């Protein structure tokens, strides 16, 4: 099995995820009238730490403007893309290697009236099917952890960005205390994972020609927010979320939390610009 096939096998599910999500939304939405909209899907369609809150945080840094063309690399089933469209009136190309996710991204975007604003594209991030200087923002959340060819990834990011435009990232990186506990949400075993230490990632992105605007290690703040949330919830069951789509998801999430607590993984958000600061 190629590396790409191993990755897509990890994420792929039997049967459309979109139908299951729409069913869950109908169950948990209550009696709200009116057509379905993107925020109705938000607790089920974002597969990264912090969900829509982290997406909103990264968007505040990247500052999309109405009409921008955004490329989301490793877009999953399009949750972050729909949040950007909803809040900033941009158009997002939602690129992902997992074909079933691209199909789900199209179905969910159609269900919330965003068929023309979220454009799924099934492709590999290290061979982007776009011309040079195409995008106003290149965006990625929790995808580089699966991509071992990081030189190829960041060179492609730099190539497709318009001069002066921003690359926004939100990723998990290697911690100094050893590998994370597997299985994690992104990899069943170390063979599917491609974590590098933050300083190595930083150097690779700079080497692609992009200029650093900001680099934030969010791990401690995230752990503190999770601790406060646990404290507030006490023994209450978790809110409806991705664990209703992926059996075993809560165990994977616990492994990730333990890895973060023990410094076996770090969470970083960052912004880089093509051209000078
Ligand atoms: C943890 S999910 C994150 C999805 C989405 N960014 C989100 O936050 O909801 C990682 C995604 O990266 C995609 N991915 C992994 N390797 C990729 C590659 N080489 N090219 C494009 N997408 C890739 C996977 O298919 C998966 O959908």
Phi then psi for 22, rounded to 5 degrees? -65, -35
DSSP 54: H
Nearest-atom index, ligand 1, CA of 140: 6
In order, the DSSP letters of 131-170 are -TT-EEEEEEES-GGG-S-HHHHHHHHHHHEEEEEEEEEE
Q: Is the pLDDT of residue 32 over 70?
A: no
From ligand 1's centre to the CA of 97, what distance in Å? Answer: 7
For residue 86, the model assigns a pLDDT of 98
Indicate if ligand 1 lies below 6 Å from the C-beta of 44. Answer: no
Q: Give distance in angstroms: CA of 207 to centre of ligand 1.
A: 23
Domain boundaries, the chain: 3-274
* Cβ 167 under 6 angstroms from ligand 1: no
Question: 54: Cβ below 6 Å to ligand 1?
Answer: no
Is the pLDDT assigned to residue 31 strictly greater than 70? no
For 189-236, how does the pLDDT look when each residue is reduced to its tens digit (9 = 90+)? 998 899 999 999 999 999 999 999 999 999 999 999 888 888 888 878
Over the chain, what is the mean pLDDT? 93
Across 146-257, the runs of DSSP E, i.e. the strands, are: 161-174, 210-217
Give dist(CA 163, CA 133) in Å, integer: 7
CA 96 / ligand 1 centre spacing (Å): 6
Nearest CA to ligand 1 atom 27: 76
Question: Which pLDDT does position 28 carry in this prediction?
Answer: 81
Query: What is the distance between the alpha carbons of residues 260 and 274, in angstroms, rounded to a whole number?
Result: 31
Going from the C-alpha of 113 to that of each of 87, 95, 116, 146, 273, the distances in angstroms are 14, 19, 8, 31, 32
Domain 3-274 fold is Rossmann fold (3.40.50)
More confident of the two residues 9 and 181: 181
Give yes or no for residue 154 having a pLDDT over 90.
yes
CA of 118 to the centre of ligand 1 (A): 16
Closest atom of ligand 1 to 46 CA is 9
The reply to whether ligand 1 has any atom less than 6 angstroms from the CB of 142 is yes
CB of residue 156 inside a 6 A radius of ligand 1: no
Residue 125 beta carbon below 6 angstroms from any ligand 1 atom: yes
Rounded Cα gap, residues 90 and 76, in angstroms: 18
pLDDT tens digits, one per residue of 86-132 = 999 999 999 999 999 999 999 999 999 999 999 999 999 999 999 99
State whether the beta carbon of 253 lies less than 6 angstroms from ligand 1. Answer: no
Which region among 26-30, 111-115, 143-147, 202-206 has the lowest average model confidence (pLDDT)? 26-30
Q: Using most ligand atoms within 8 A of CB, pick from 144, 145, 146, 152 the residue to mutate for ligand 1.
A: 146
Residue 33: is its pLDDT beyond 80?
no
Interval between CA 73 and ligand 1 midpoint (Å) = 7
Give the predicted TM-score (pTM) of the model: 0.95
Q: How far is the CA of 87 from the centre of ligand 1 (A)?
A: 22
């Amino acid at each position: 099995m190629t590396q790409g096939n191993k990755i897509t096998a990890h994420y792929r599910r039997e049967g459309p995820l979109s139908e299951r999500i729409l069913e869950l939304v109908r169950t948990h939405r209550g009696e709200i009238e009116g057509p379905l909209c993107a925020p109705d899907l938000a607790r089920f369609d974002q597969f990264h730490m912090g969900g829509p809150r982290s997406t909103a945080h990264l968007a505040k840094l990247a500052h999309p403007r109405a009409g921008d063309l955004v490329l989301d690399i490793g877009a999953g089933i399009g949750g972050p893309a729909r949040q950007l469209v909803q809040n900033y009136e941009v158009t997002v190309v939602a690129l992902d290697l997992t074909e079933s996710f691209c199909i789900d991204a199209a179905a969910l975007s159609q269900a919330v009236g965003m068929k023309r604003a979220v454009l799924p594209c099934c492709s590999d991030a290290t061979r982007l099917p776009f011309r040079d200087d195409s995008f106003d923002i290149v965006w990625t959340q929790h995808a580089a952890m699966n991509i071992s060819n990081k030189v190829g990834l960041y060179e492609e990011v730099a190539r497709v960005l318009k001069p002066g435009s921003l690359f926004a990232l939100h990723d998990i990186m290697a911690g100094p205390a050893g590998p994370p506990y597997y299985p994690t949400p992104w990899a069943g075993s170390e063979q599917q994972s491609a974590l590098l230490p933050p300083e190595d990632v930083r150097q690779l992105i700079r080497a692609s020609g992009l200029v650093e605007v900001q680099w934030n290690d969010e791990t401690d703040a995230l752990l503190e927010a999770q601790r406060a949330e646990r404290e507030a919830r006490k023994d209450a069951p978790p809110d409806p979320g991705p664990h209703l789509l992926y059996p075993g998801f809560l165990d994977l999430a616990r492994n990730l939390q333990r890895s973060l607590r023990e410094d076996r993984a770090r969470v970083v958000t960052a912004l880089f610009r093509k051209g000078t600061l």
